[in-house]
Every structure is written in structure tokens, then in C-alpha cells.
Amino acid sequence: MSDLDRILRAVLAPLGGLVEIGAVQAAGDDVRLADVSVGEFLAARRHDLDSVLGGVRSLLQAGDHLAAVADQLGYFREHEVTGASLLLWSGGIAGVPDDPELLGEPGLVRRMCRIGADLQLTAFLHELVTAAITVGEGGERVVGALRGAARLVGGEPAHVHRMWRVAHLARILEPRSDAPGWGRAAYRACDLVLEGLLQGDSPPRV
């Protein structure tokens, strides 16, 4: 597997989770998972998805390779959404019921979707930032794709940025981290740009 393949798969995996979660949310609070249509959701939100994929394609200069990897993964076409997949996207935080059939219970589905949206948006941003640093780009190229992904699940990009700081950036910058000095500097610089673009503040001069 090439480096570009690996990066694309890392970026597209959480986006696939957001598509499934968005499809469930769009179908209504009490819908049965068997009745959720990812295809209908994507048809209605094609502009948002195209915005995200276009941003990723531009960031990584992936060309037609992005479409090939996306097709291999299968997230962006009609497929079944299961309680097990929502459990995966939500990190098991809501718990695993003794009876697997209860994974389709509406209250649990709603909770897994809320948790999963937070987790996968944060993971998506982290993979975008890491990809940008890998190819020598700055945080400016990340924001458009993040905004499009957030719209799929009704997320707030500024909130996602703050969650990313807590979940990922703090661990990278802590003294015990094995991240190299140049990597720490790159993540810190990207955070400053994201803060200025998403939090409404200009990055301080350092």
C-alpha cells in the first residue's frame, strides 16, 4: 500500500462514519435502522460530500486516486447501517447491551449517533491536520473540508477544533510525547491557524 493510499484511508474512514451517522439522524428519531438509506442521504447532501472530498483531493493532490480508494472502501454508496457499526463509530462509550438486538433501540441509537458524531469529527480533523503536515500544507487547507463534514451531522467546526485539542493535540505536545520537535512545531502552528479561522481570533505573533 502506498503512502497516499494509507493517508486517504485514514482520512476517509471517519468520514464514512459521519455519512452513516448523518443518514440515521436524517431519517428521524424513531426510524428502524433497516429503513435508513445512505443512498438517499448522500443524494440530498451531495454538495456537502463533494465539498469535503474536493478539499481532501486538493490538500493531498490525490486526483482520481481518491475516487478509487473511496470506491474500495464503499462508504459513499448505498449500504446497510447496523447497530454494530454505530457502536464502532461511537467507540463503545454507550455500552454493549447483553442482547445485540437492543443495539437498534431508538434511544441507544440516538445516543450512539451523538457520541459517534463527536468522535468521528474529531478523528477526521486529526487525520486532516496530520495529512496537511505530511504534505507540507498549513491549516488553511483543512477548514473547508472540516466545515463540509460537520454539516453532514449538524456539527460545529469550532467545537470540533476544541475537542481535537483535548483529544489529540495535548497528547502530542506533552513533555513525555515521542513526537519530534519539528512535528510538535507543525501541529502547534496548525492549531494557531485553525484557532484564527474557526474561533474568530487572529493567531498571536510568536
The SS3 of residue 100 is: helix
The answer to whether residues 132 and 126 touch, using CB atoms and an 8 Å cutoff, is no
List, for residues 59-98, the tens digit of each pLDDT value.
999 999 999 999 999 999 999 999 999 999 999 999 999 8
Write down the residue that cell numbers 480533523 correspond to. Answer: 125
Provide mean pLDDT across the span 54-63. 93
**DSSP 3-state percent helix, strand, coil across the chain (nearest 5):** 70, 0, 30
List, for residues 157-166, the tens digit of each pLDDT value.
999 999 999 9
Mean residue pLDDT of the chain comes to 93
